[in-house]
C-alpha cells in the first residue's frame, strides 16, 4: 500500500474499521514468528526490543486491565 493511501485510511484505522480494507489481513494465534529478508528493528510500545527474526507469544493473565464500573 502506498504511503498516501495509508495516510488517507488513517481515520478508518483509528475508528477500528480497518478490517474491511482489502489490503488488511487478520490472523489469530497464541504465538507467531516474524522473519524478514533483512534484519529489521522491532518495537513494542515505542520502545526498541530486538531485531528480526523474532518470536512473540501471548501470556495468559499477564496484562491487568482496569475499566470504569
Give SS3 for 20.
helix
Q: Where are the beta strands (DSSP E) in 1-69?
A: 31-34, 41-44, 47-51, 54-57
Q: What is the pLDDT of residue 60?
A: 87
β-bridge mates for residue 29, sequence order: none
pLDDT reading at 69 higher than 80: no
Phi, psi of 32 (to 5 degrees): -140, 155
What is the pLDDT averaged over residues 40-69? 90
What is the pLDDT averaged over residues 44-66? 90
Sorted by where each begins, the domain ranges of the chain are 3-57
Amino acid at each position: 500500500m502506498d504511503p498516501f493511501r495509508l495516510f488517507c485510511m488513517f481515520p478508518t484505522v483509528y475508528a477500528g474499521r480497518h478490517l474491511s480494507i482489502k489490503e488488511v489481513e487478520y490472523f489469530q494465534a497464541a504465538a507467531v514468528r516474524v522473519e524478514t529478508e533483512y534484519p529489521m528493528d522491532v518495537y513494542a510500545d515505542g520502545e526498541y526490543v530486538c531485531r528480526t527474526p523474532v518470536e512473540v507469544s501471548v501470556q495468559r493473565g499477564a496484562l491487568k486491565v482496569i475499566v470504569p464500573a
